[in-house]
Amino acid sequence: MSIEKTDRIVVTGGAGFLGSFLLEKLAARGYSNVLVTRRREYDLTRETDVQRMYNDLRPAVVMHLAAEVGGIGANRENPGRFFYANMAMGLHLIEGARRHGLKKFVQVGTICAYPKMTPVPFREADLWQGYPEETNAPYGVAKKALLVMCQAYRQQYGLNAVYLLPVNLYGPRDNFDLDSSHVIPALIRKCVEARDRNQPAIIAWGTGSASREFLYVEDCAEALVRSMEQYESPEPMNLGSGREISIRNLTELVAKLSGFKGNIVWDPSKPDGQPRRCLDVSKAREAIGFTAQTSLEDGLARTIEWFGTKRSG
Instruction: Give yes or no: 139 in active site.
Output: yes
Range 180-198 average pLDDT: 93
Model pLDDT, residue 9: 98
Per the residue annotation, which of 54, 114, 139, 170 is the catalytic one? 139
Q: What is the pLDDT of residues 241-282, one digit of tens each?
A: 999 999 999 999 999 999 999 999 999 999 888 888 999 999
Q: Is the pLDDT of residue 311 over 90?
A: no
d(CA 208, CA 310): 28
> Which 3 state secondary structure label does DSSP give 23?
helix
Closest CA relative to residue 90, chosen from 38, 148, 138: 148
H helices of 29-181, in order, are 47-57, 72-77, 79-99, 137-157
Residue, of 270 and 58, whose pLDDT is higher: 58
Q: Which domains occur in the chain, in start order? A: 9-171+214-243+275-293 (3.40.50.720), 183-209+245-274+304-312 (3.90.25.10)
Q: What is the pLDDT of residue 73?
A: 79
Q: What is the pLDDT of residues 13-28, one digit of tens each?
A: 999 999 999 999 999 9
What are 286-307's pLDDT values in tens digits?
999 999 999 999 999 999 999 9
